[in-house]
Amino acid sequence: MNDVPVVVRVRQETMEWYWNKIPFVLAVLCDAQCVVVRTNLLFRQESGYEDATLMGRPLADIIIDCDLGAAAWETPASEHRVRLRTKDEELLEMELMAMPIEIGDTRHYLALLHQVGAIQQSGLMQQFALTLLRDESMGVILLHANFRVNAISPLACKVLGVAKEEVQGKSMDELFIHAPLEHQLLKQMIVEEQPVRNHPFRWSMDYEQRELLMDANLLRDRQGRLLGAYVTFKDVSNLRSLEEQVQRSDRLAMIGQIAAGTAHEIRNPLTAIKGFLQMFKNTMKEKGLNKEYGYTEIMLTEIDRINELVSEFLLLSKPKNITVDLIDPAAVMSEIMPIIQNEALLHGIVVDYRLPEVLPRIVADREMLKQVFLNIGKNGIEAMKEGGVLTISGGVEREQGLPRSVCIDIQDNGPGIEAGILDRIFDPFVTTKSTGTGLGLSVCQRIIHDMGGLIRISTGSGGSTFTVSIPCSIEEREALG
C-alpha cells in the first residue's frame, strides 16, 4: 500500500511567528522547484552563508548525497542522511527531515536539518542547564548578546538581592548595581575578553553568610559571533568551613601538646606556693593580722585561676578517657537545664526551651557534650548585659530524605559579635569578655570536631546563634530512613 502524501497547511502569519523559534534545527524553505526561498538564523550561522547568497539557489547545491527531486518530498516526514556544504566548503554530517508544506495556497517544501545525534544532545544539554538554574548551591546568570538578563537562578537572585521577575530583561549594569567590584570585573571581561575565574567574595544577609566563587565568560558560536555571556556563583561555604576547621584543629593540637608538656612544670611550684600560703593564712588569722590575711586570700584566688587556666590548656589536647556511647542529645540538654536556668535567673535572663523531647541518637561522650552546651549557654547569658531571652531549639538536618545530623541552636538577643572578631571567634585566646581566657569556644570546637560534627555561628545586631551539628548514628539513619 502506497503512503498518501501529507501536506502541512499553515497561514503566513503563523509561519512568520514560528520561523526563528524552531529549536535546535537548521530550517530551509524551498519553492516547488526546490529552490531556496528562506532560511532560519541557525542555518545561516552553521553554514556561514549570507541570506542574499542563498536566495534563489538550488537546494541541491548546498545539501548533497540526497536526491531532492520533488518526488522525494512526497513521503511524509521522510528522513535522510545528508551532508551540508558550508560557505568554507566544509562538509557537515546531517540528518534531514523533509516534508511538503502549503503556506496560504502555495506549495513549498520544508527541510529541517540537525547534526547527527544533535537533538538528543540538545535535549540533554537543555535539561542540564535547567538543573543548574534550579540548583540551590549554584548561582547562574545568562545574558543576551546585548548583556541583558535572559535567565537567573534563585541563588543568584539572593546574592544580588533581587527578584527574578524584576530583573528579567534588565541590563548587567542594573543587575550588579549593589556589587560594584564584581560589576567592574564583568565590564573588564567584556572589554578585554578575558574570563573571570574563581573570584572569591562573601555574601551575607540577615543571619546567613556564604563564601562564594564567581566565574564569568562570553558565549560565542562556531563562527566567533557573540551570543551572550554567563556568570556563575559557586557556594563553597562548606569547603571553606572544613579548611578553617582543619587549620584550627592543627593549631589547637600544637597548643595542646605544649600545654600537656608544661602543665606539670607549672602546677608543681603552684602546689608548693599554695600550701605555704595556706599556712601563712592560718597564722595571720591566729595573730589577728586581718589586712595581711586578706592579701593571702587574694593570692590564693589568683593561684586557683592559674590552675583553672592550666586545666583549660590541657583540654585543648585530644581529650583522654572519652566514654563514647549512643546518646539522645535532647536528654543531655534536659539534664543540664537546671544549671542553665539558675545561671539565667542570676542575670535576669528568660530561657525559652523549644527542643523536641526526642531527637535521633548520636555517637558522643555525654559529659563532654554537657560541657559544650553549658559553655555556649553561659556565653549567651553573659552576652545579654541588660536582660533578654536565651532560646534553645533544635531539629534534624536531612539529606535525600534521610536524617543526616542533629542540630542544637542556642540563640541570644545580645549585641552580636563584631565582624573583626567573628572570623577568629574559635581561635585560642580570642574573647569578647573583659575577664575571659578565650579558650572556652576553642575547647568546645575541638570536642565537637572529635565527634565528627561542627559548630556554626551567625550573628547580627539582634544577637547571635550558635548551632551545634553532630552526625546521626548509622543505626538511627537506617531506622528513621
The three cell numbers locating residue 119: 537533538
CB 203 within 8 A of CB 210: yes
Mean pLDDT of the chain: 79
Using only the alpha carbons of the chain, give its radius of gyration: 36
E strand or H helix at 98: strand 91-103
Between 67 and 172, the higher pLDDT residue: 172
- Contact partners, residue 60, CB within 8 Å, separation at least 6: 34, 68
CB 319 within 8 A of CB 253: no
CB 27 within 8 A of CB 42: yes
CB 210 within 8 A of CB 202: yes
Least confident stretch, 266-270, 325-329, 403-407, 476-480: 476-480
**pLDDT exceeds cutoff 50 at 107:** yes
Q: pLDDT per residue over 331-385, tens digit each?
A: 999 888 988 998 888 888 999 999 888 888 888 888 889 889 998 999 899 888 8
> For the residues 410-418, what does the mean pLDDT come to?
87
Tell me what percent of the residues of the chain surpass a pLDDT of 90.
6
Q: pLDDT per residue over 9-31, tens digit each?
A: 777 777 777 676 666 678 888 88
Q: pLDDT per residue over 434-473, tens digit each?
A: 666 667 788 888 888 878 888 888 887 788 899 999 888 7
Band of residue 321 on the pLDDT scale cut at 50, 70, 90: low
- Contact partners, residue 417, CB within 8 Å, separation at least 6: 425, 432, 457, 459, 464
Nearest to 421 by CA among 437, 409, 438: 438
Question: Which of 53-67, 265-279, 372-386, 413-427 has the largest mean confidence?
Answer: 372-386
**pLDDT exceeds cutoff 70 at 2:** no
CA distance 406 to 318: 23
Question: Which of 258-272, 414-428, 452-466 has the largest mean confidence?
Answer: 452-466
CA distance 380 to 388: 10
Cα distances (Å, whole numbers) of residue 168 to 92, 108, 153, 320, 455: 36, 38, 11, 59, 39
Least confident stretch, 173-182, 281-290, 396-405: 396-405
CB 10 within 8 A of CB 103: yes
CA distance 378 to 375: 5
Q: Sort 275 into a burial class: Cβ within 10 Å, 0-12 / 13-18 / 19+.
A: exposed
**pLDDT exceeds cutoff 70 at 225:** yes
Write down the pLDDT at residue 409. Answer: 92
Question: Which of 53-57, 220-224, 435-439, 452-456 has the largest mean confidence?
Answer: 53-57
CA distance 26 to 113: 5
Q: pLDDT per residue over 155-183, tens digit each?
A: 788 877 788 888 888 888 888 887 787 77
Alpha helices in 70-199 (DSSP H): 118-134, 154-160, 164-167, 172-175, 180-192
> For the residues 419-444, what does the mean pLDDT come to?
73
Least confident stretch, 101-115, 123-137, 254-268, 421-435: 123-137
> For the residues 302-319, what does the mean pLDDT come to?
70
State the amino acid at position 167 in one-letter form: V
